[in-house]
Amino acid sequence: MSKAVRMAKGSAKGGFNLFLGVSLSTIISSLGVIILGNLLGEDKYGLYTIAFISPALIGLFRDWGINSAMIKYIAQYRSEDKTSEIRKFLASGLIFELVLGTLLSIISFSLAGFLATNVFNRSGTETMIEIASVAILANALVVASQSTFIGFERMGFNSFILICQASLKVFLAVLFIFLGYSTLGAVLGHVVAALITSTFAIIIVYSIFYRKSYGSENGGLNLSRTLKTMLIYGLPLSVSTILAGFLTQFYSFLMVIYCSNSMIGNYSMALNFSTLIAFFTTPIATVLFPAFSKLNPEKEMETLRNVFQSSVKYAALLTVPVTLAIMVLSEPLVFTLFAGRFSYAPLFLTLIAIGYLYSGLGNLSLGSFLNGQGKTKVTMKLTLISMGIGLPLSLTLISAFGIVGLIATTLVAGVPSLAVGLWWIKRHFGATIDWASSARIFLASVVAAVITYIIISQLNFHCWVELFVGGITFLMVYLVAAPLIRALDEDDINNLREMVSDLGPFSHLFNLPLNIMEKLLTIFTF
């Protein structure tokens, strides 16, 4: 077994554990969204969304690339068996996040009144913004803990935290709403859930990863030296994160200015539904970062190239069809849960989902590859390209077309940086995408989407029936179209089967479609 396949096998196991956590937490969150959407309605749900915009913007200045540095150096020093260094980076990262998270929460709390009255022109949101500000600190501790879990490739703990936070958020938000706090209660439930979860996360990190595993190491933390190393690596990423986050929040500020609460509620609901695609994209992108961090290009260049190309292809095999299925089924999906409400959400969901199709062009692998290889300055430059395009474009499109203009801006602004990033990787590492495979995957998915659309457009049944029939139709057509069009071959099936072999009883779940496509490949071979 090649090293690339062994790495893919380990990543698949970690990715599947994370997939379970993302899936369960998203299902729980989706149930919460359904309940909150029905309890609050479009208008109040829009206010709930607005309450977190300014804390999210201020929270962008919390990380400074420290979390990414924690993942990289924990993964790197684990592979080099330098346990004392791991302890230093773990503790230094947590201390940094605690201090800066506290400071930014105080700043956000202090600005709540000004922002509510003078920026959003919604004075009634001041108290909600103040409460939402506390989430900056809580999220800092949660994300730092998750970085620890990812660096150690212990995705099970990451999944536990995701599920814990989602469950508490839904339970507490609904509880506070029923107690009569309305939109304020939803915000309060979100924040209290984050605080409780952050406490759980820190306890796990200290008791399992810090005290027990590395408690015997001596030599001190060397906080200043360790943070200097982390910042040298992380600051370019921090600039990237801040700029990308600022761009997103700038779009949100324009959205609040030019769009009604109702349209904001529809857009926010569409974003919630788009997390169905994140079931698949989040685990893939997460496990790729530590995987790329372990590879030394001076000694393992060919392996690095193979891992990059395979990561793009196998990610596309999963995410591209899922994305097109969500797009073609957006209307029955939304209206099954919100009959007569959130009428614009299906359109917004279809448009938002287009961005996930970029996974077939290497979007999920690009950032993980660059950051894993320490090329954070390149990541920063790519973000600057997106920002240079997104800022002027948003001022024109959002003011003229509202939410549709916002989505169009996000879709267009990311394309040039993706193209430049792929060119840079090919020039400096010789790694590239298997364009023919990506094209076949897109073609197979489009065929499934077109046939599904034709069938459900002829139905005149309840939305949930159309959703069920459409989902089954898409799956069956894709399983036939993928081997027929040669979106994958026998080597791909063998590699995928090997990758999922350590998933225990769940491996049979993945082997079923693989066996079907393998038999169809034999039939279609002339």
| Confidence (pLDDT) at 318 | 81
Share the mean pLDDT of the chain: 80
Asked if 238 contacts 119 with a C-beta cutoff of 8 angstroms, the reply is no
Asked if 141 contacts 204 with a C-beta cutoff of 8 angstroms, the reply is no
Q: How far apart are CA 176 and CA 29, in angstroms?
A: 16
Alpha helices (H) in 259-344, listed in sequence order:
261-293, 301-328, 330-337
Q: Look at residue 479 and tell me whether its pLDDT is greater than 80.
A: yes
| Confidence (pLDDT) at 406 | 92
**Tokens (6 digits) for 475:** 């799956």
CA dist 249 → 12, 256, 263 (Å): 33, 10, 17
| Confidence (pLDDT) at 368 | 76
More confident residue, 27 or 288: 27
Residue 486, classed as helix, strand or coil, is coil
Q: How far apart are CA 38 and CA 177, in angstroms?
A: 12
**How many residues comprise the chain?**
526
Convert the pLDDT of each residue in 179-211 to its tens digit. 888 888 888 988 999 999 999 888 888 887 776
* Residue 291 C-beta-side C-alpha neighbours within 13 Å: 32
Asked if 16 contacts 500 with a C-beta cutoff of 8 angstroms, the reply is yes
| Confidence (pLDDT) at 500 | 59
Q: How far apart are CA 425 and CA 335, in angstroms?
A: 43
DSSP 498-512: HHTTTSTTHHHHHHH
pTM of the model: 0.67
Categorize the per-residue pLDDT at 281 as very low, low, confident or very high, splitting at 50, 70 and 90.
low
**Tokens (6 digits) for 113:** 């009144």
- Nearby residues of 30 by Cβ (< 8 Å), 6 or more positions away: 272, 273, 275, 276
Q: How far apart are CA 438 and CA 435, in angstroms?
A: 5
Asked if 58 contacts 104 with a C-beta cutoff of 8 angstroms, the reply is yes
Q: How far apart are CA 408 and CA 354, in angstroms?
A: 10
Most confident of 52-61, 74-83, 170-179, 498-507: 170-179
Helix (H) or strand (E) holding 478: helix 463-484
Q: Give the mean pLDDT of 129-150.
A: 87
Residue given tokens 């095999």 in the structure block: 317
Q: Look at residue 2 and tell me whether its pLDDT is greater than 60.
A: no
- Residue 285: other Cβ atoms inside 10 A: 20
Asked if 136 contacts 142 with a C-beta cutoff of 8 angstroms, the reply is no
Categorize the per-residue pLDDT at 19 as very low, low, confident or very high, splitting at 50, 70 and 90.
low
| Confidence (pLDDT) at 409 | 93
Convert the pLDDT of each residue in 318-361 to its tens digit. 889 989 999 999 888 888 877 667 788 889 999 999 998 998 88
Q: Look at residue 5 and tell me whether its pLDDT is greater than 50.
A: no
Q: Which of the residue ranges 58-62, 249-253, 288-292, 312-316 would you say has the lowest mean pLDDT? A: 288-292
Q: How far apart are CA 257 and CA 269, in angstroms?
A: 19
**Tokens (6 digits) for 244:** 């990308």
